[in-house]
Amino acid sequence: MITSFLGLLILCGVGYTALVLKPGGELGFFDPHAGVVVFGGVIGALFLANDQHDLKAMLRSILELFPILKPFNKSMAETQNGLHEIRTAWREGRRSVILNLVDQGKTAEIKLAADVLLQQLSGDSLSERFMQQRTKYLHEYGPVVEGWEMVGKLAPSFGMVGTVTGMVQLFRNMADDPTNLGGAMAMALLATLYGIATGAALGGPMASRINNQLNERLSQLELIEKTVSALLYETRQGAKQTAGEHP
């Protein structure tokens, strides 16, 4: 509710800026009037279409653009290391290590794998636990992908809004003061540039990036499920052999 109200408020401000306020200044690369229309319009639409949780998730996803941070790559590496630790500890019979990872595992995948191993789940019970985690990832990543796709679509659209309103301002200035045309021309031209650049350079690539991360995480989860299933199978086979040797 709060984000929807803020979105409407922002869009009203964008409309007021585009239709009422007169752009001033001369033609240059940066035009605040066009910037408000394009970027303010996109932000307002995002607030209107998403809740607080989804907006925070989109903001966190921006961290992936910084090579030093890379939280997703760090999480994937921690999961791979944790899976190796689980595999080794289980085959060596160090159940205390597995038990410790249930509470202190660095990623949700490792905690899940350790818990499933300790409970020795199989069949539908095993599949259901991993399906729950897949569903969680779909709910977590899906809105972020849709949000960035929305940026890719809306930014050029608001660029065209800026262009049209800039042309309206241009004709209005031609009627009132033919010597003051720079600001309206800047808005008309740069709004389209800002919109296309934002959609092509940010919205589309970010949507693809997050969608690829979702697919990688789902693939990794599938690998973990197969690994856990194989470890449990080895344990059962070993138990059968032991029982056969000692009737």
Dump pLDDT digits (tens) for 209-247: 999 999 999 999 999 999 999 998 888 886 666 655 555
Share of the chain above pLDDT 70, in %: 87
Share of the chain above pLDDT 90, in %: 38
pLDDT at 26 exceeding the cut of 60: no
User: Which run of H or E residues covers position 34?
Assistant: helix 32-35
Mean pLDDT score, 51-66: 87
pLDDT at 156: 92
pLDDT at 181: 64
| Contact (Cβ atoms closer than 8 angstroms) between residue 166 and residue 188 | yes
Spatial neighbors of 188 by CB under 8 A, at least 6 apart, are: 162, 163, 166, 167, 169, 170
Higher pLDDT, 1 or 152: 152
pTM reported for the whole predicted model: 0.82
Mean pLDDT score, 31-39: 85
For the chain, state the CA radius of gyration: 27
| Contact (Cβ atoms closer than 8 angstroms) between residue 6 and residue 52 | no
Distance, CA of 38 to CA of 163 (rounded, Å): 10
pLDDT at 3 exceeding the cut of 70: yes
